[in-house]
Structure 1
């Protein structure tokens, strides 16, 4: 009997084999882009624009990489399934540790310093909200990027200098300026000139603790052809935290994430990423404006000297800016330690 009435005849063995082959090919085609992306992330093959930008979205790609693994497993394609599993594991090793609090070896009994970094978007961010966050959070050190003369005047009018009276400020038009505001006295004030932006810095005299070197970081963004060179150069120019030198804190808009090798190299200069250490390293900080359709990525960071203990990291929406602020409590080593 060929088949029951009304039902199609069974496919011939040759047709079945062709269908299985095509399904296997389709699965390989689905797995391949994820495998290439994972290899680029693991090996640090950032290339040039736009691949530098694309790597920032690795956490989203890592989540979607579960789809080809599930399809390969359901269709019982062994080698595509094994390859997809390796890809998923590679992504997991790169991404998941950011959501797990790390072991912090810093001194738990040292003086606490509360720090915050804000990108003001050409000085347009809400100054009243920034000052309110500084007061309510007991912020001791504030780093500002995209700091214009308008932003400086707005922060002064909102009363920032009443709470953080010591400052090193370098306003510039557009996105080039930066500043550091402090509750404590400052010394050795200056700035670092990068390709396009300046980075204000100073030594902060913290009561009961060592002097802290703080810098408002803002390397150029990889936003077009040829921008990769300035992006790499600006990240490479970030200062190191030397075990024998001052306790160092870099905070700002780094225009990069932990999925960028160039940024990871900065972290290995003696720092820990505060959000990564606190288990909040997957919290996006950009963009937070009317681009609701754009997946958020983590461009803003607080890098703390490895001698510093990190706790209570928060990512905070700032009205008028396309970046969120990053707040952290840092426990310094005791003076003379």
Structure 2
């Protein structure tokens, strides 16, 4: 009886670990609990290895030795597989953005309700040479302040903001677009994410990509339905009908987008820039965790007419007041 129970328990553990490593096989990547587990692969791997070490403490007990060894083997295999998947997305955190290349430079930074302030955000934009800046949880007031400061430095930007409550920073999303790219108008006809706002801006003369600053809600238990709907909405913006460059706090990793892929893209037809250039596993959240441990939930994605050249998570701003790191990418137009 003990042997039968051991086999059954090992089978249950094996299934759970398989789901944690690759939930896409059973279309469970957006399921409750699974969605949270798969977003923190390195942390879960660490837990698995600790459990394997603890299990080895019982290997001297002869009656349970086969069960213990099977569990340890499963945990080790899980760690290797999940670690391999994570590493395959790229751990290169030292890429350089060439601001003088003539390519499009895109920056996204969740500011946690304007926390870094006007001066710091403007400084980062100046230093990176960003042409389009997606700022979830950033108010119109701060966006205008940044644009005014940049204008004084002969680097003018247009400001587009959408909000649920303009007085509460977390319910705002701001998009800054360099005036050098032409005039843009906010398009409110395409819809919106359900809980936190998304900004869609189209070029007035039709020359240039559609810029999107987005912020799908976090997959907390009471928001799972809205989270899934938000991801479906942002994927629908990448339907292949037009050129799109989108950035923001997606509150999701590439794993969560598996069922939303289309025509070789990662999210609809859009490709994740960081993973395309080998930096897709560098954590952007939370700032208290080292980049190799955190989750990559802040992204810049673009339709196939934009080739990712370089991407970098800026790790030197962890004391700026927000729990997210900025992500900056360099995109080259190919068609």
> Could you tell me the TM-score, scaled by structure 1's length?
0.73
Matched, 1:177 2:169: no
Aligned to 1:163: 155
**Shift of the alpha carbon at 1:231?**
0.2
Deviations 1:171-197 (A, max 9, x none): 533222222212221334224432122
Instruction: Tell me, in whole angstroms, the C-alpha distance in 2 between the residues paired with 1:236 and 1:29.
Output: 32
Number of residue-to-residue matches in the alignment: 300
Indicate which of 128, 143, 147 corresponds to 1:152. Answer: 143
Matched, 1:95 2:89: no
Secondary structure of 1:275's match? helix
Instruction: Tell me, in whole angstroms, the C-alpha distance in 2 between the residues paired with 1:154 and 1:189.
Output: 19
**Shift of the alpha carbon at 1:39?**
4.9
Matched, 1:247 2:243: yes
Q: Is the 8 A contact 2:150 2:157 kept in 1?
A: no
**Shift of the alpha carbon at 1:246?**
2.7
**Shift of the alpha carbon at 1:326?**
0.7
Unaligned runs of 5+ in 2: 60-64, 93-100
Change over 3 Å in CA distance of 1:31–1:138 after alignment to 2? same
Unaligned runs of 5+ in 1: 1-17, 102-109
Q: Is the 8 A contact 1:167 1:181 kept in 2?
A: yes
Matched, 1:233 2:199: no
Change over 3 Å in CA distance of 1:232–1:124 after alignment to 2? same
**Shift of the alpha carbon at 1:64?**
5.2
**Shift of the alpha carbon at 1:264?**
5.4
Matched, 1:212 2:239: no
Instruction: Tell me, in whole angstroms, the C-alpha distance in 2 between the residues paired with 1:301 and 1:33.
Output: 28
Secondary structure of 1:119's match? coil
- Larger Rg over CA atoms: 1
Instruction: Tell me, in whole angstroms, the C-alpha distance in 1 between the residues paired with 2:103 and 2:247.
Output: 17
Q: How does 1:34-49 map to 2 (within 5 A)?
A: 34-40=17-23, 42-46=25-29, 48-49=31-32
Aligned to 2:304: 306
> Could you tell me the TM-score, scaled by structure 2's length?
0.74
Deviates more, 1:80-89 or 1:121-130: 80-89
Q: How does 1:35-74 map to 2 (within 5 A)?
A: 35-40=18-23, 42-46=25-29, 48-62=31-45, 65=48
Q: Is the 8 A contact 2:24 2:258 kept in 1?
A: no
Deviations 1:136-165 (A, max 9, x none): 221111111112244235424643685232
Instruction: Tell me, in whole angstroms, the C-alpha distance in 2 between the residues paired with 1:196 and 1:50.
Output: 21
Q: Is the 8 A contact 1:27 1:68 kept in 2?
A: no
Deviations 1:52-79 (A, max 9, x none): 323211233245556778988xx79686
Deviates more, 1:245-254 or 1:76-85: 76-85
Over the aligned positions, Cα root-mean-square deviation in angstroms equals: 3.8
Secondary structure of 2:187's match? strand
**Shift of the alpha carbon at 1:262?**
6.2
Aligned to 1:120: 111
Change over 3 Å in CA distance of 1:45–1:213 after alignment to 2? same
Q: How does 1:320-331 map to 2 (within 5 A)?
A: 320-331=321-332
Matched, 1:224 2:221: yes
